[in-house]
Structure 1
Amino acid sequence: MVETTVQLLCPECTKEWQVTPDELPETTAMFHCPNCHASRRMSEFTRTDRDLRTLKQLG
Structure 2
Amino acid sequence: MDETSVQLLCPECAKDWQLGPSELPGASELFHCPNCHASRLTAEFTRTDRDLQTLKQLG
Same fold (TM over 0.5): yes
Q: Which residue of 1 aligns with 2:48?
A: 48
SS at match of 1:12: coil
SS at match of 1:56: helix
SS at match of 1:55: helix
1:41 is matched by which residue type in structure 2?
Answer: L
Q: Which residue of 2 aligns with 1:28?
A: 28
1:24 is matched by which residue type in structure 2?
Answer: L
The TM-score normalised by the length of structure 1 is 0.97
- Cα distance in 1 for partners of 2:23, 2:44 equals 16
1:18 is matched by which residue type in structure 2?
Answer: Q
Q: How far off its partner does 1:3 sit? A: 1.7
**Deviation beyond 6 Å, 4+ runs, structure 1:** none
Aligned residues: 59
Q: State, as a whole percentage, how many aligned pairs show the same letter.
A: 73
SS at match of 1:44: helix
